[in-house]
Structure 1
């Protein structure tokens, strides 16, 4: 029987996903693992750079006071003092630059490593989640996780955290130094900045939802592009361009609205901070000049405050940008963590059962299965197949034929009942051990960009070139192989092959694996009649001595089967050889006659 759901994955820091930016970012920092050290080191260097830059204005004040005092007092300027102070100031700013350079090296390096970590975990997760996870999702949405969301995490996560810490350090340091220099001017210049900060927090509070919608809409639009690209022939054949464009335009409008609102609200923060900064400059210049006239402060204090005001506005601008990035990072991280938190298939590392020398006896014992709870597709199925038999499975579309193949290969696990191979339950075996017993050709053929050899010998090393050439000849691809100068090492792409050629390569791949059990799901549905006959001869040779399951709509291809199982509404309604079923004059006879109606 199928096992219980597996334990939570290693990246699940808690049982529940965070519902806010703070919680998501806290989890993201924990997720970074050892790369946090590089991020922390980058932050430390950035803080040190900030500290040295904060010291500088104090020496500018000393230089300004010396020059202004000498000019107003009618004495000579102490050039040695000016030179010494300027040299020390230059050293301070040089150290600040060196520390910032180190930070600028560490943070991008950590960002790329984090992006690589995200992609590795996503790639690993794709292979561990149950197939039913993908049933309600588009390819584009999953691709958006691997590309857009992973890129945002990699490019912005470490940067925005470092920028936020650095900006807070600069702001706090600037305020402290301003209070140390003159508390009156500090209080006056802080008022506009505080107003800008409050406005920034208000915007952040209300704009987060638009970044989440933007990330979601981007996944939807990628899904539509993916569907229209791979199905462009169907779209054009059925004159569906207008409908496809209308659907794309609808989602694109949603993406435009969410992106526009996210960018607009995020863009108001720098403008507000810049406005507050300008007000602060004016206040420092006007009231600072008044205090100089009254003799309460010197010109150097005004110069230092102008520098500090600029330093105070700059980190707030940085903070507004980093908080905007944090919202985008949070939205992407939330989507990624939602995927990573999806329960894995049950762990089967402790399973050791496996048939010895496989004879090929397959039993289905009271098998029940439903894709959606309460709506059974397979109902109490009982079949016993003897070793070496060729079993055809026929029936109308949606009857559950392909579902049987998926259950045998454990792409899905049954709700109840059992499937046994040579008396060993497939649920007592590891999934990979079960699948190693089968070679298979699906109705939807799959070819990847690579060489002919890589495609045919996929997953089965040790197949000789002569054997591969023999297999290609058996499935009708001999002329195709000869037409490529590189032979088996010639590069091919799915887009350059006809549907029939892709299916022939899939059949050749199954023959190269040479497993003891065989599943053919409409294996010749995309080839012409002449090629089908040639492939059928090769298939007959391949199936000899092997237990084979042939799922077919074209009944002419399975008339020589040992057993034909007629499936209807998830149950076996008829069973027997072709001649026996025709003699019954039942459902199989009606299916067969409907295909050959009007033929002499």
Structure 2
């Protein structure tokens, strides 16, 4: 199977989306701890919207005062309103008479600026209050959303520590990082924007609808004809774009996985001249992301202009009908003005909700990916009644152990062995023989299929993983350093260690020898890749870290493969001094490093085919002898 990230690797099928409703329901369920805050948010939203929707009705009254004053000035002074209406009817101007009957006019008078000022002052107060309540609503809602995302990140972080190693073996690191970073950031953006706008839109829709029926039931019914068309249009478009949003985030994870893998091996890619292939693979994955993103944004983007078209069409119809009703005296000009404002406010929430459809779909697609991580099967929980060895000695025993990564392909079958305290047990064999698997089982990185492993007489499953691994020091072939000082990286093995203890461990592992030559000594800052240290120096730091932990069990997986021969000899001397009352498992391909081991295990296909000391195994002339001869015979002997 081709590893993802290199030419020929399959991009993987785009998974089908789950139910949008189910994903949204689980995402909204995350808001449950913020119930009290949301109650205040809704209350403030109701107050803000109430003040906002009352404004146009009052402004309509201001329009009536201005229009009434304008008409009053044109009527003969000294007459009454009834006389003016009767005169209009006598002239056959029935529409004008009906209009005057609906208006508050004083023949000969002008605009009542005092009344107009009072009305506008009330409008100003209402809008200022609406703004204050809206600001408070946004402040509380933003805090609630950030707390939800904070808890989600914490849950994901805790989940990662509960997942078995099998899960990480099957996940490209870039894909996993994309779920933990990009998808959670997208969820935060969705909750931040969508919740606020959706809440405001819903409340505005209700408030405006009520005021529309108060002003004119007929015009309200006409305006409501837009709603069914909007719902049908939004659902039809949203159904198609949801799949594309899921594909967009899937391809984002695949592209991140390729970038992370290709650039972490940038030197090898360059050395083997595969940059063109890597660039082509990047281009292919980038094109997949482009097509998915372009399709999702384009289809969901149709919603906004379509809703604007329906809104403008409704506005024209309402303006024509409203003008006719003013002309017939059925409505006042101020009421028509207020209703047209309400019609805009009515369609605006619908348009906002529709425009949020792409954001909601993108957020729910990201939520599905994060929930998949949170729903992944966890490692078996620690025992509720842990047991600790009475004395830390480091005796390890395998009793009829069976293990396989794939049930269809057995690896380790009926394996039994004993490592006594203070022994150095070397494990050798060809690649894929199960050497690293053996020590991973001791650390409980994987669970056994059958049998058991004991540490100082206690089944390791009867101990908590923290207790088990707290007694174990492990040094891998691949070094891991974090961004910090050399002192901090060594002290990672025992955070409570004093500076003197850190330096003592460094001297025992010959780290002190090269640290003293650095300008800042132990305070030299190294990055997470350790680029300012050589490969051998990085390995020495990790060995010093394991020594500082003072474990009863020491595991070295090709730990000296990156150091020079002289340093390797010095490390052998240091490890010999540290083996007192401590069991050591050493995985090695260079057989020269394990000649002095107390016990050498030779593994083939998950089985121990030979065991004994270096001399005993050479005298036996079996698998170990063949490995040793193949490694140390001269080129001439190899040619013959």
CA–CA distance in 1 between the matches of 2:235 and 2:62? 38
Q: Which position in structure 1 is the counterpart of 2:535? A: 499
CA–CA distance in 1 between the matches of 2:536 and 2:177? 27
Q: Which position in structure 1 is the counterpart of 2:87? A: none
User: Normalising by structure 2, what TM-score?
Assistant: 0.88
Q: Are 1:397 and 2:397 counterparts?
A: no
Using a 3 Å threshold, how does the CA distance of structure 1 residues 275 and 496 change in structure 2: closer, same or farther?
Answer: farther
- Alpha-carbon contact 2:383-2:462 (below 8 Å) kept: no
CA–CA distance in 2 between the matches of 1:65 and 1:185? 19
How much is the aligned-residue C-alpha RMSD, in angstroms? Answer: 1.9
User: How big is the shift at 1:194?
Assistant: 4.2
Q: Which position in structure 1 is the counterpart of 2:607? A: 571
Q: Are 1:282 and 2:316 counterparts?
A: yes
Q: Which position in structure 2 is the counterpart of 1:241? A: 275
2:588 to 552, 561, 571: 552
CA–CA distance in 1 between the matches of 2:335 and 2:581? 96
Q: Are 1:310 and 2:309 counterparts?
A: no
Q: Which position in structure 2 is the counterpart of 1:266? A: 300
Q: Are 1:520 and 2:519 counterparts?
A: no
Q: Which position in structure 1 is the counterpart of 2:509? A: 475
- Alpha-carbon contact 2:382-2:461 (below 8 Å) kept: no
User: Normalising by structure 1, what TM-score?
Assistant: 0.93
- Alpha-carbon contact 2:17-2:365 (below 8 Å) kept: no
Q: State how 1:269-348 maps to structure 2 within 5 Å.
A: 269-348=303-382
CA–CA distance in 1 between the matches of 2:19 and 2:448? 38
User: How big is the shift at 1:318?
Assistant: 1.5
Q: Are 1:137 and 2:171 counterparts?
A: yes
CA–CA distance in 2 between the matches of 1:308 and 1:71? 25
User: How big is the shift at 1:60?
Assistant: 1.5
Structure 1 residues 215-266: Cα deviation after superposition (integer angstroms, max 9, x where no partner): 2111111111111221111111111212211222222111111111111122
- Alpha-carbon contact 2:138-2:196 (below 8 Å) kept: no
Q: Are 1:109 and 2:108 counterparts?
A: no
CA–CA distance in 1 between the matches of 2:342 and 2:252? 42
2:386 to 352, 372, 386: 352
Q: Which position in structure 1 is the counterpart of 2:98? A: none
User: How big is the shift at 1:426?
Assistant: 0.8
User: How big is the shift at 1:23?
Assistant: 2.0
Greater CA radius of gyration, 1 or 2?
2
Q: Are 1:30 and 2:29 counterparts?
A: yes
Q: Which position in structure 2 is the counterpart of 1:56? A: 55
CA–CA distance in 1 between the matches of 2:145 and 2:455? 49
CA–CA distance in 1 between the matches of 2:245 and 2:197? 20
1:439 aligns to what SS in structure 2? strand
- Alpha-carbon contact 2:557-2:587 (below 8 Å) kept: yes
Q: Which position in structure 2 is the counterpart of 1:594? A: 630
Structure 1 residues 391-414: Cα deviation after superposition (integer angstroms, max 9, x where no partner): 110000010000011000111111
2:186 to 138, 152, 157: 152
- Alpha-carbon contact 1:367-1:378 (below 8 Å) kept: yes
2:225 aligns to what SS in structure 1? helix
User: How big is the shift at 1:193?
Assistant: 5.3
CA–CA distance in 1 between the matches of 2:239 and 2:201? 19
User: How big is the shift at 1:349?
Assistant: 4.9
Q: Identify which range, 212-221 or 319-328, moves more after superposition.
A: 319-328
User: How big is the shift at 1:158?
Assistant: 4.4
Structure 1 residues 271-308: Cα deviation after superposition (integer angstroms, max 9, x where no partner): 11112222222222223222222322221122112211
User: How big is the shift at 1:510?
Assistant: 1.0
Q: Which position in structure 1 is the counterpart of 2:211? A: 177
Q: Identify which range, 390-399 or 283-292, moves more after superposition.
A: 283-292
Q: Identify which range, 147-156 or 506-515, moves more after superposition.
A: 147-156
- Alpha-carbon contact 2:391-2:456 (below 8 Å) kept: no
User: How big is the shift at 1:18?
Assistant: 10
- Alpha-carbon contact 1:141-1:223 (below 8 Å) kept: yes
Q: Are 1:456 and 2:490 counterparts?
A: yes
CA–CA distance in 2 between the matches of 1:32 and 1:526? 51
CA–CA distance in 1 between the matches of 2:550 and 2:492? 12
- Alpha-carbon contact 1:47-1:169 (below 8 Å) kept: yes
1:79 to 91, 113, 116: 113
CA–CA distance in 1 between the matches of 2:231 and 2:434? 62
CA–CA distance in 2 between the matches of 1:36 and 1:275? 38
Q: Which position in structure 1 is the counterpart of 2:91? A: none
User: How big is the shift at 1:191?
Assistant: 3.0
1:420 aligns to what SS in structure 2? strand
2:413 aligns to what SS in structure 1? strand
Structure 1 residues 335-356: Cα deviation after superposition (integer angstroms, max 9, x where no partner): 1111111232222251321112
Q: Identify which range, 537-546 or 96-105, moves more after superposition.
A: 537-546
Structure 1 residues 351-399: Cα deviation after superposition (integer angstroms, max 9, x where no partner): 3211122222211111111112221221111112222111110000010
CA–CA distance in 1 between the matches of 2:516 and 2:286? 47
- Alpha-carbon contact 1:456-1:508 (below 8 Å) kept: yes
- Alpha-carbon contact 2:51-2:130 (below 8 Å) kept: yes
CA–CA distance in 2 between the matches of 1:427 and 1:300? 80
- Alpha-carbon contact 1:39-1:158 (below 8 Å) kept: no
Q: Which position in structure 2 is the counterpart of 1:536? A: 572
CA–CA distance in 2 between the matches of 1:359 and 1:188? 86
Number of residue equivalences: 584
User: How big is the shift at 1:498?
Assistant: 2.4
Using a 3 Å threshold, how does the CA distance of structure 1 residues 462 and 284 change in structure 2: closer, same or farther?
Answer: closer
Using a 3 Å threshold, how does the CA distance of structure 1 residues 197 and 577 change in structure 2: closer, same or farther?
Answer: same
CA–CA distance in 1 between the matches of 2:394 and 2:227? 78
CA–CA distance in 1 between the matches of 2:54 and 2:67? 21
User: How big is the shift at 1:595?
Assistant: 0.8
- Alpha-carbon contact 1:140-1:220 (below 8 Å) kept: yes
- Alpha-carbon contact 2:300-2:358 (below 8 Å) kept: yes
2:302 aligns to what SS in structure 1? helix
- Alpha-carbon contact 1:39-1:162 (below 8 Å) kept: no
Structure 1 unaligned regions, length at least 5: 1-16
Q: Which position in structure 1 is the counterpart of 2:597? A: 561
Structure 2 unaligned regions, length at least 5: 1-15, 74-108
CA–CA distance in 1 between the matches of 2:462 and 2:258? 40
Q: Which position in structure 2 is the counterpart of 1:446? A: 480
Q: Identify which range, 116-125 or 344-353, moves more after superposition.
A: 344-353
